[in-house]
Amino acid sequence: MRLTAFKKIANKSGCSYLNPYLRLVTGGKIIEKRKDSDRRIVVAIDNRTFIENGTFHIYPIAAFGRCCFIICPLCGEIHTHGNVNGYRVPHCYDFDLRKREYFIEEMQQVNTNR
């Protein structure tokens, strides 16, 4: 799912899980890359993602129930996973990208100071 879709769903549901994400954007932790023509978000980059021993380590951008949302370092879209840290197979559309597992870290407390 693209970020635009994620935001739409979050807004519609009225859930508060969009707020941590927006704080990460305003805090410069997440960079949204938009298309010039219609300002649609094409991909997003989570600056907190790091590589250790050749594996991407990712922090959730939001969590809801037993699910968490991450920005995929391989395709730049949002994927949902169970909200437990550990290795996962990416849910990218491109099946070749799914060969590379990543590690989801425990969700960080988002700093509310702006």
Binding residues for Zn ion, rule: CB under 5 A, are: 72, 74-75, 90, 92
Measured between its terminal Cα atoms, the distance across the chain in Å is 28
Which CB, 23 or 50, lies closer to Zn ion?
Answer: 50
- 6, two tokens: 């994620």
CB of 72 to Zn ion, least distance (A): 3
Query: How far is CA 80 from its chain centroid?
Result: 8
Minimal CA–CA distance to 15: which of 62, 83, 52? 62
Which CB, 27 or 50, lies closer to Zn ion?
Answer: 50
Which CB, 52 or 95, lies closer to Zn ion?
Answer: 95
CB of 112 to Zn ion, least distance (A): 29
